[in-house]
Chain A
Amino acid sequence: MNHSFLRIAIACTAIAIPAISQDLVAIKAKTIHTITGPSITDGVILLQNGRIQKIAKAADVEIPWSATVIDASDKVVMPTYVLAHSSGGMRGANESMQNVPWLSVADAVDPASTYFEGMLRNGVGTIHVLPGNNTLMAGSGMVLRPFGRTVEDMTVADNTGMKLSLMTSNGSRLQKIREMRRAIQSIREYLANYEREKAEFEKEKAAGAIPADKKWEKEIDRKQKAAVELIEKKMKGWLYVPSFAELDEALRMSKELDLNMVLGANLDEAMPLLTKLKRPVVLDATIEYFETDPETRKEEQHCSARMLADAGVPFALSLGSAGPTSYPWWQLGTCMRNGLSRQQALAALTMVPAKMLGLDDQVGSLAVGKLGNIQILSGDPTSATTWVETVVLEGEVVYERKTDPRLQYLFEAAEKAAAPQTPKVDDNKKKDEGQ
């Protein structure tokens, strides 16, 4: 669209319908980390109707008069983070029945959950919510943004895949693997029966035993529909692989199904297998762990992110629901502590998960045409003292640190303690000085 024409158009409509001017947002930034391109110093991002319209050096952008300006000219601006696997924000993430592929997280997501506000506070803008790790074939997930009053408000994409898990709660690993094979086999058998019935129907119709105008009406059982889509590779599977011991089976399963893997931390024994991973994987929130040699009792520290980087497999990071791993800066710092580059670490919370979700044309980096999902940080994203100041989702400010009630609660005692005890005296002093 011609730029000047746009401005005139906006100007005209702005007079008629003032609300439309709100759709134009300009963010002035000290530093813009675009993730996919070079970083920009003293830049401006223009958003229109929730999408990035322009992103450039401040000198090269004329901010329309009707735009709402967010001044972050002393701050760091980057895309909001993307999580490719999470079971947060649900009431009851783990169905106790093991084989329930017909369930959907849409029925368990609680928009009022503090999980979502916590994610906003951490600069997360896109979350793939899937059922928990305790259920074998657990149901389908959806991609949400952590803002909205209803699940519908929050939805970015529905039916994003089937959660499968090889985690052993009781019984042996072998038993779990056998249960998984049996579950997949029973769907194949159901589908084969269905196809056979359908073929027989057509055969009888052709033979004249069934009237020619009668159509095949039996649909796939609602309970089996999602599972059938999974084995027909119309739906992705998201397979939780708790440790190295299940990785072999997971690799076998990925030959039959369209699978993305979510890997637990304990991978060191599986190092040679990691290079066989053909696709990016998601890592559990715990990426650093200790292992003790039973003979020498000497401990070794391992980092799953480092192992995947060494194996050349792209990976996405997860965030824990509480504690240090719930902070993106800590996860990024952990990667860097283990010798990964800053770019590798940042990609694991932006572009890699965006690609895994098939949303890399929408989120995960700052580029013209992508969604205006932007976080404004007080400093570098890998520093412990950096806070998320503002989160913008699709052009709308959805979080501001200065009005965050939880942070106010956490720090009010400190602020009170640090405040001068007798502010009135100070006021008088000022007055005296003024006179």
Chain B
Amino acid sequence: MTRLLPTSALRTGAALMALTVFASAQQAVTAYTNATILPGGKPAMSNATLVVSGGKVIALGGSALKAPEGAIVIDCKGKTITPGLIDASFQSGTKSEDLNEQSDEVTPHLRVLDSIDPEDPRFQRARNAGVTTVHVMPGTRNVIGGLGCVLKTHGTDPKEMVIKEDASMRIVMGAEPSMSNRAIRGGRVNSMYYRRPTTRMGVIWAVRRAFYDAKEALNKTQGAPGDAPPSPGTQILTQVLQGKVTAVTTARSEQDLRTALRIADEFGYQTIIDEAQDAYMVADELAGKKAVVMLGAPSAEAVAGSARSDGAAPRAGTVAVLAAKGITFVITTGTNTAALPLINEAMFAVRNGLGPQQALDAITIEPAKLLGLSDRIGSLAPGKDADFVIWSQNPLDPAAVAESVLINGQSVSQPR
């Protein structure tokens, strides 16, 4: 079967293979040969072979690696294979009204997993564009939104899709949590926006108050027995303070980025910085604190000096600054509703001065490390999940198409 297959045949092949895997109870072995493989975290391999069985990668090598006896061979001549892409900040997967809880602005104990809707078409959109794993967090309208989770983008039950629960806890800086809030001045209270806080000061106070409570609770646990246990939210925050749950702080403008670092220092917790459009302005501080950045939608650059509503001015050179300063970062689609497919966000980063290898790493191996899942996903190596994408050409080319997307060795993409 080693011959050049046209795209449709390739798809059929992948589909057949998926069936075979299903039928023969994970016995089948499939070899993808003659491909350019960008394994994630390592340089490109040409004329390479990827061998997959039982939903896992079993071998990866150059032309010297021969397909095992009896394996289904799929010739990928001219194609490029990358690991399945990982979007470390994917603002979907739930219905939009399910992202922001109105009952309180500090809700650390809410789990976004309880809102996940596997039928959300945005999962399908993401996986058709090569994204196989996403990190979903609650929305950005609460000061402390709740717990995020990591999911594969294919499945019918969130329980099957999830690969890491309680992966993060989101804190939001800046104007967004207070953006539309109004103080109650009589009249009927029928809007979620009749609530505090209404300023940046108020937002930060809400964060502080929550962490004061958590600190107090931590001290109390060593105290007298018989004390009422702290509230579920406070319990989560104590875990953040103990480093058991990772804090993700969403901050866009220079001011909010500095505040995010300051508050983390004040209470002594480590935080990932999310969105970070103005990161170029605080690059030295980020580097000094060894902060990890999840850069949101690098395609949203402001050329003519236009600023976003919360005062950030995304600049095309940001990724290059982060790279030059040695700051660890990943590229995400983030909260920008106009964000492009993740691969194209990485493509924009390359246009703006990032090396192609670094850009691909920032959507594969780097987010896998950030989410603590690099032993399973983010790169192609024996023993890892067989999550990968067969691209029509170099994926950083604007004309590139994800021809086949596979999760755990099974084709999950629709023909385009």
Contacts and interface: CB of A to CB of B under 8 A. Distances in A.
Interface stretch (B29-37, B152-160, B171-179, B301-309): B301-309
Contact of B416 (A118, A301, A333, A410): A301
Interface stretch (B231-239, B342-350, B404-412): B342-350
A333 B121 contact: no
A410 B321 CA distance: 11
A410 B316 CA distance: 5
Contacts of B301: 410
Given A333-B398, A411-B353, A323 B317 contact: no
A417 B299 contact: no
Contacts of A384: 347-348, 350-351, 396-398
A312 interface: no
Q: Interface SS of chain B: helix, strand, loop or mixed?
A: loop
A410 B315 contact: yes
A414 B280 contact: yes
B317 A299 contact: no
B340 A324 contact: yes
B317 A411 contact: yes
Nearest to A415: B317
B228 to A, nearest CB: 45
Nearest to B120: A297
Contacts of B397: 333, 383-384
Contacts of B347: 384
Contact of B125 (A290, A334, A337, A411): A290
B121 A413 contact: no
Q: Count chain B CB atoms within 10 A of each CB in A118, A297, A324, A417 and give the residue with the most.
A: A417
Contact of B351 (A118, A337, A385, A406): A385
Interface in A325-360: 329-330, 332-334, 336-337
B300 A323 contact: yes
Contact of B400 (A118, A299, A337, A406): A337
Contacts of A334: 398
A121 B280 CA distance: 23
B401 interface: yes
Contact of B399 (A117, A292, A336): A336
Contacts of A385: 350-351
Given A290-B121, A384-B348, A413-B280, A332 B304 contact: no
Nearest to B340: A324
A382 interface: yes
B398 A382 contact: yes
A417 B324 contact: yes
Interface in B269-324: 280-281, 283, 299-301, 303-306, 315-318, 320-321, 324
A329 B351 CA distance: 11
Interface in B238-286: 280-281, 283
Interface in A374-388: 382-385
Contact of B304 (A292, A297, A301, A406): A406
Contacts of B400: 337
A382 B399 CA distance: 8
B223 to A, nearest CB: 49
A329 B299 CA distance: 14
B321 A383 contact: no
B398 A411 contact: no
Contacts of A301: 125, 128, 416
Contact of B315 (A323, A329, A413): A413
A418 B128 CA distance: 36
Contact of B124 (A298, A412, A413, A414): A298
A418 B398 contact: no
B104 interface: no
A299 B350 CA distance: 29
Contacts of A13: none
Nearest to A330: B398
B1 interface: no
Given A384-B398, A417-B325, A324 B344 contact: yes
Interface of A: 114, 117-118, 121, 290, 292, 297-299, 301, 322-324, 329-330, 332-334, 336-337, 382-385, 406-407, 409-415, 417-418
Interface of B: 119, 121, 124-125, 128, 280-281, 283, 299-301, 303-306, 315-318, 320-321, 324-325, 338, 340, 344, 347-348, 350-353, 396-401, 416
12 contacts: A114-B304, A290-B125, A299-B125, A337-B401, A407-B316, A410-B316, A411-B352, A413-B281, A413-B321, A414-B280, A414-B317, A417-B321
